[in-house]
C-alpha cells in the first residue's frame, strides 16, 4: 500500500497528472480535463467553474501490485488547510513542478509543509512540451530554493526541438508513449549512442546518489562496475525514504508523456505504511509518551483529518495508524473523552463512496456516525487511549460582514455557518454584539467567495455581503503594572480583594502567555483557575477594541483582605487588574502582514515595485529570470484587497501573484 498526496503551486498541473494516474491504472475509461470542467477529482461545481482544486479529494488505484491511496490537494494559498491536513496523514508525496515556472511560491509553501512532517517525496516536472521549459533549471531551483537534492530518474528526449519521449536513467532505455491510445501503450528500447551521451551527466548524478545511500552500490560504483537496476532501485529507495534525495521524473501530463514511469516511481521509491515509524502520541490519562506500530494486531488508533457535511450527514475522513475497526464498533475520541459508534465505513473515490466492512492499519477511509470528532482529533480503542499531535490550523486574516435576506433566516444562517466551520477550521464567524451582524472570517477573498457560493447553491441561503475587513489585533509597547483593589458584597458579606498584575510586550506570534507563578500563592485550585479565566476574558477585547496578542502577563499577588475566597470575585478582580495594567502599557494596533510573491515580465517590474511601495509594502527580494522577474514583498493585508485587478492593469494581464499570512506587526 502507498498513501501519497499530489502537491504543487496552483496551475502546475496536479489535477491533470492525477487524471492520467487514474486512466492508466484502469480506474477511469476517459481522461477528464480541468479546462473542460469534467475532471474526476475536481467534483465540486465551484472547482469545475474556476478550473482549480478547492477541496482535497481522496481516491485509490492499483499499480505494480500495490494499492495506492491518493489525495489531490489544492494549490491556491486560500485553501492551505486542505494541504496541511492531508500531509499530516500521508506517508509520501509527489510534488508537481511546472517546467516553465520552476519552483513557484506556493510550491515552496507546500514543500515546507511536507518538510515539517518529514514526508519522503518525488518530483514530476510537468509541461516540458511548452516553449521555455527547462528541466535542468527546475532541478537547480529545487536545490537553491528548497535545499532539496533532486536526482533525475527520467530525462526528457527531444526530436526536432519538440519533447517526444523520456529516458529511463535506471535501465538506460528510451520510453515512448503511443499517441493512438492517449499514451497508454508504453514501448521501451535501449538508448542510442547520441541519447546515452546526452543523458550521461544525469546517469552520473543518479549513481552518486545511489552510492551515498547504499554501501553495496557504492562498492560497485567506485570499482567502475555496472550497478544492476534492482540494486539501484533499492539504494535510491533507501535514500528517498531517509529524506536525503528526491527522485525527479520528466513529462507532460497534458500530452500523456512520462506519467507511467512516475507511477512506477511511486511504488518503487515511496514508503508503505508498514515502513513508516511508529506513530507517536501521549496517553491522555497520564501524559506519558506512547506509540503505536503500524500493525493490524496493535490497538486501534486513527486521526480524523477532515470533516464533510453531505446532505445533512456528517462524514469524517480517517487515517488508521494501527489496529482495525469495523462497522458497529465503539471507539473513543481521546481528544474529547467521548465514546463514538462507527455506523458506516467507506472507501472514497473523489465524490463517490464504496461501502466496506472494516478498516485496517494504513487505510484512509471515511466514516459515518461519528458525531463529535473535529479536524485533528484522535480516535482509538477505549481500552488503550492515545492522543496524536493535532493539525496546525492557521488563523483567519480576512473578514466580511454577512446578513441574510430576512431577519427570520438569521438562526438558519448561524446553523449553516456552524456546519461549515466544522468542516473548515480556517473559517470562523462571530456575531457583533453592537450591530447584530455576522462577521465571517477566512484565509482570503477567494476562500470567502467560495463559502458564500456554497451557501447559495447547496442551501439556497443568499446573503448580503459587506466589504472585506481586516482582523486587527492589539498589544502593548511597554511594561504596565497594576495594584488593583476590588470589593463587592456577596451573600451579605463584603469581599475585599487585592490583585497585582504586570503586563509586558511578548515576541511576535507568542499570543497571550500567562506565567503560572500565581498558582504558588497558596490559592485554592478553583480560585487560581478563575484568576486565569478572568485574565483571558479581559484579553479577549483590549482597550482599542480588538483581541490582545503578543503579551506576557504575570500575577504576583491575589489576596482576599476580607470575606471567603470566591472564584467569581477572583475572576472579576483579575480581569479588572489586567485591564488597568494593560492600559498603562500604552497599547497600539497590530495588522496582518502578507508575504506576497509576484511574477511579472521584466519591463513591468519598476511599475509593480512603485505600486507595492505605495501600498505601504516593503520589497524583500527580486529574482530576475529570462521568463519574468519574481518579486517578494511584505504588504499589509488592508492594502491587498482587489490587488489582482491592479496587477493585471500594471502588467497588461501578464503578471500573477500569490500571498500568504506572514505575521502581525505594528500598523
Q: Per-residue pLDDT tens for 126-145?
A: 999 999 899 999 999 999 98
What is the grid cell recorded at 114? 511536507
Among 89-93, 519-523, 595-599, the least confident range: 519-523
Looking at the DSSP bridge assignments, the partners of residue 199 are: none
Q: Distance between alpha carbon 163 and the CA centroid of its chain, in Å? A: 34
Distance CA(151)–CA(221), nearest Å, equals 16
By C-alpha distance, which of 472, 449, 470, 509 is closest to 637? 470
Alpha carbon distances (Å) from 448 to 37, 44, 429, 435, 441 = 22, 16, 11, 21, 8
- Three cell numbers, residue 255: 500530452
Enter the pTM of the model: 0.70
| Contact criterion met (CB below 8 Å) for 219 and 210 | no
Question: Residue 126's pLDDT is what?
Answer: 96
The full DSSP string for 61-119 is EEETTEEEEEEEPP-SGGGHHHHHHHHHH-SEEEEEEETTTBS-HHHHHHHHHHHHTT-
**Alpha carbon 641 to chain centroid, angstroms:** 23
Would you say residue 599 has pLDDT above 80? Answer: yes
The residues that bridge with 503 in the sheet, in sequence order, are: 480, 553
Given strand 338-341, what is the order of strands in its sheet? 338-341, 330-333, 378-380, 301-310, 313-322, 364-368, 344-349, 352-356
Q: What band does 436 get if pLDDT is binned at 50, 70 and 90?
A: low
Question: From CA 27, how far away is CA 14, in angstroms rounded?
Answer: 18
Closest CA to 310 of 269, 346, 265, 267: 346
Residue tagged 502520541 (cell numbers): 281
Query: For every residue of 222-288, which 3-state class applies, written as one string?
Result: HCCCCCCHHHHHHHHHHHHHHCCCEEEEECECCCCECHHHHHHHHHHHCCCHHHCCCEEEECCCCCC
Tens of pLDDT, residues 314-338: 899 999 999 999 999 999 999 999 9
From 486, 490, 495, select the one nearest 563 (Cα to Cα). Answer: 495
In the chain the first and final C-alpha atoms are separated, in Å, by 51
pLDDT, tens only, 149-169: 999 999 999 998 899 999 999
Lowest pLDDT segment from 342-351, 487-496, 611-620: 487-496
Burial class for 170, CB neighbours closer than 10 Å (0-12, 13-18, 19+)? buried
User: Worst-scoring range by mean pLDDT, 334-338, 433-437, 551-555?
Assistant: 433-437
Count Cβ atoms below 10 Å from residue 283 Cβ, excluding itself.
14
Q: Among 181-195, 329-343, 350-364, 480-494, name the one with the lowest average pLDDT.
A: 480-494
Q: What is the rounded CA–CA span in Å between residue 131 and residue 291?
A: 51
Closest CA to 364 of 86, 20, 40, 55: 86
3-class secondary-structure state, position 342: coil
As a whole number, the mean pLDDT across the chain is: 87
d(CA 277, CA 177): 38
Give the Cβ contact number of residue 567 at 10 Å: 18
Kindly report, residue by residue over 461-472, the tens digit of the pLDDT: 888 888 767 888
Neighbours of 132 (CB within 10 A): 12
Q: Taking 70 as the threshold, does the pLDDT of residue 476 lie above it?
A: yes
**pLDDT on residue 80:** 67
| Cβ burial 305-314 (10 Å sphere, 16+ → b, else e) | bbbbeeeeeb
Please tell me the predicted confidence (pLDDT) of residue 435: 59
Backbone angles phi, psi at 247, to 5 degrees: -60, 140
**Higher pLDDT pick, 211 / 113:** 211
Beta strand 656-666 with 428-431 is unpaired
Q: What is the pLDDT of residues 22-62, one digit of tens each?
A: 899 988 776 655 545 445 544 455 555 555 555 667 888 99
Amino acid at each position: 500500500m502507498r498513501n501519497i498526496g499530489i502537491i504543487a503551486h496552483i496551475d502546475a498541473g496536479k489535477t491533470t497528472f492525477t487524471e492520467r494516474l487514474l486512466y492508466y491504472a484502469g480506474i477511469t475509461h476517459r481522461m477528464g480535463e480541468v479546462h473542460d470542467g469534467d475532471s474526476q477529482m475536481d467534483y465540486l461545481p465551484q472547482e469545475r467553474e474556476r478550473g482549480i482544486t478547492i477541496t482535497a479529494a481522496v481516491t485509490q488505484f492499483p499499480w505494480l501490485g500495490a494499492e495506492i491511496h491518493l489525495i489531490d490537494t489544492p494549490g491556491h494559498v486560500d485553501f492551505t488547510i486542505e494541504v496541511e491536513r492531508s500531509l499530516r496523514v500521508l506517508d509520501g508525496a509527489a510534488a508537481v513542478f511546472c517546467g516553465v515556472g520552476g519552483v513557484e511560491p506556493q510550491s515552496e509553501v507546500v514543500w515546507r509543509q511536507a518538510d515539517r512532517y518529514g514526508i519522503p517525496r518525488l518530483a514530476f516536472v510537468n509541461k516540458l512540451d511548452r516553449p521555455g521549459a527547462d528541466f535542468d533549471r527546475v532541478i537547480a531551483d529545487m536545490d537553491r530554493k528548497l535545499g532539496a537534492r533532486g536526482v533525475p530518474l527520467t530525462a526528457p528526449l527531444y526530436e526536432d526541438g519538440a519533447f517526444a519521449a523520456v529516458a529511463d536513467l535506471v535501465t538506460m532505455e528510451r520510453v515512448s508513449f503511443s499517441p493512438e491510445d492517449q499514451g497508454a501503450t508504453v514501448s521501451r528500447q535501449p538508448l542510442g549512442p547520441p541519447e546515452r551521451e546526452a543523458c550521461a551527466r544525469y546517469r552520473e548524478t543518479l549513481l552518486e546518489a545511489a552510492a551515498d545511500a547504499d554501501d553495496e552500490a557504492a562498492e560497485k560504483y567506485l570499482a567502475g562496475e555496472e550497478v544492476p537496476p534492482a540494486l539501484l532501485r533499492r539504494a535510491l529507495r533507501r535514500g528517498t525514504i531517509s529524506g536525503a534525495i528526491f527522485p525527479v521524473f520528466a513529462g507532460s501530463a497534458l500530452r500523456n508523456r512520462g506519467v507511467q514511469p512516475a507511477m512506477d516511481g511511486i511504488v518503487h521509491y515511496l514508503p508503505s505504511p508498514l515502513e513508516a515509524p511508529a506513530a507517536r502520541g501521549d496517553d491522555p490519562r497520564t501524559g506519558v509518551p506512547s506509540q503505536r506500530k503500524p500493525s493490524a494486531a496493535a490497538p486501534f488508533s486513527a486521526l480524523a483529518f477532515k470533516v464533510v457535511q453531505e446532505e445533512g450527514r456528517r462524514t469524517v475522513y480517517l487515517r488508521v495508524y494501527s489496529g482495525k475497526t469495523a462497522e458497529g464498533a465503539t471507539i473513543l475520541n481521546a481528544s474529547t473523552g467521548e465514546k463514538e459508534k462507527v455506523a458506516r465505513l467507506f472507501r472514497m473515490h473523489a465524490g463517490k463512496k464504496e461501502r466496506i466492512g472494516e478498516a485496517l492499519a494504513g487505510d484512509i477511509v471515511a466514516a459515518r456516525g461519528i458525531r463529535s470528532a473535529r479536524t485533528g482529533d484522535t480516535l482509538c480503542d477505549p481500552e488503550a487511549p492515545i492522543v496524536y499531535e493535532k493539525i496546525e490550523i492557521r488563523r483567519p486574516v480576512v473578514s466580511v460582514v454577512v446578513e441574510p435576506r430576512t431577519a427570520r433566516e438569521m438562526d438558519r444562517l448561524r446553523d449553516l455557518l456552524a456546519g461549515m466551520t466544522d468542516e473548515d477550521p480556517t473559517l470562523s464567524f462571530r456575531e457583533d454584539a453592537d450591530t447584530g451582524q455576522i462577521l465571517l472570517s477566512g484565509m482570503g477573498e477567494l476562500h470567502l467567495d467560495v463559502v458564500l457560493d456554497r451557501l447559495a447553491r447547496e442551501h439556497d441561503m443568499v446573503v448580503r455581503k459587506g466589504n472585506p475587513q481586516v482582523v486587527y489585533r492589539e498589544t502593548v509597547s511597554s511594561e504596565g503594572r497594576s495594584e488593583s483593589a476590588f470589593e463587592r458584597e456577596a451573600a451579605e458579606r463584603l469581599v475585599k480583594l487585592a490583585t497585582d498584575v504586570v503586563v509586558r510586550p511578548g515576541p511576535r506570534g507568542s499570543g497571550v502567555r500567562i506565567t503560572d507563578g500565581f498558582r504558588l500563592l497558596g490559592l485554592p485550585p478553583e480560585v487560581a483557575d478563575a484568576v486565569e479565566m478572568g485574565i483571558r476574558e479581559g484579553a479577549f477585547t483590549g482597550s482599542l477594541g480588538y483581541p490582545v496578542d503578543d503579551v506576557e502577563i504575570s500575577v504576583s499577588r491575589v489576596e482576599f483582605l476580607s470575606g471567603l475566597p470566591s472564584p467569581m470575585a477572583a475572576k472579576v478582580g483579575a480581569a479588572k487588574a489586567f485591564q488597568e495594567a494593560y492600559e498603562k502599557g500604552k497599547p497600539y494596533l497590530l495588522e496582518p502582514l502578507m508575504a506576497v510573491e509576484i511574477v511579472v515580465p521584466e519591463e513591468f517590474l519598476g511599475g509593480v515595485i512603485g505600486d507595492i511601495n505605495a501600498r505601504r509594502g516593503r520589497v524583500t527580494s527580486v529574482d530576475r529570470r529570462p521568463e519574468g522577474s519574481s518579486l517578494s514583498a511584505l504588504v499589509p493585508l488592508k492594502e491587498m484587497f482587489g490587488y489582482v485587478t491592479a496587477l493585471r492593469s500594471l502588467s497588461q494581464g501578464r503578471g500573477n501573484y500569490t500571498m500568504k499570512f506572514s505575521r502581525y506587526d505594528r500598523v
